[in-house]
């Protein structure tokens, strides 16, 4: 193989590698944006589950009593009659 053919082959390979690098970079940026937008709801759910578990583990009696009282108050708000 002549030097000019080898040089052309290397040049083509370098260009292909550069195209591939740009494609990977674009996909990585898109993945980062998708990951950030997906992470927000997952973080809210995870924080809710963790705090619910910790509160229930720490004081289960008080939490049940509080939630029962809150349910009574919520149900009374819908039944208020103006006199």
Question: What per-residue confidence (pLDDT) applies to 1?
Answer: 75
CA-CA distance, 34 to 42, in Å (whole number)?
A: 13
Q: What is the pLDDT along the chain (83 residues), one digit of tens a residue?
A: 799 999 999 999 999 999 999 999 999 999 998 888 877 777 888 888 888 888 777 766 665 666 666 656 555 555 555 54
Long-range contacts: 35-40, Cβ < 8 Å, 24+? none
CA-CA distance, 44 to 64, in Å (whole number)?
A: 23
Question: What per-residue confidence (pLDDT) applies to 63?
Answer: 57
Strand extents, DSSP E, 1-83: none
Question: What per-residue confidence (pLDDT) applies to 83?
Answer: 45
Question: What per-residue confidence (pLDDT) applies to 54?
Answer: 82
């Amino acid at each position: 193989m002549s030097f000019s053919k080898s040089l052309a082959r290397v040049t083509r390979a370098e260009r292909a590698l550069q195209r591939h690098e740009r494609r990977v970079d674009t996909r990585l940026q898109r993945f980062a944006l998708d990951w950030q937008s997906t992470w927000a709801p997952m973080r809210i759910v995870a924080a809710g589950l963790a705090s619910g578990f910790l509160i229930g583990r720490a004081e289960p009696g008080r939490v049940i009593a509080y939630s029962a009282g809150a349910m009574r108050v919520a149900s009374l708000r819908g039944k208020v009659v103006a006199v």
